[in-house]
Amino acid sequence: MLLGRVDGTLVASRKEPRMEGLKLLVVRQLEADGSDGSGYVVAVDAVGAGVGEVVMYATGSSARQTAATDQKPCDAVIMAIVDTWELEGKAVYTK
């Protein structure tokens, strides 16, 4: 999984029927030290995340292993909201 920050939302009214009702969030990838990474992803929200929150997301076929995304054309899912992580014993981020 990778760490990210929810930076925004996305609306798409015309979409694959199986994607109806799913919340789509624009997630900025974060580096392990908490700084902004260069990548982003649009992910389905499976845990009720909001803009500004630091999250963890899974990609690829693993993104379909939630109740919300099962058998859907979804390759990225937010599967956790991060409370804290630390590197070498020091907190990098605390909610």
Q: How far is the CB of 85 from a copy of itself (least distance, A)?
A: 4
- List the structure tokens of 91: 């907190």
d(CA 18, CA 23): 13
- List the structure tokens of 25: 């969030």
Q: Which residues bind a copy of itself (CB under 8 A)?
A: 1-3, 7-16, 18-19, 24, 26, 28, 31-32, 40-43, 46-48, 51, 56, 58-66, 69, 71-77, 79-89, 92
Q: How far is the CB of 41 from a copy of itself (least distance, A)?
A: 7
Q: Provide the β-strand partners of residue 66.
A: none
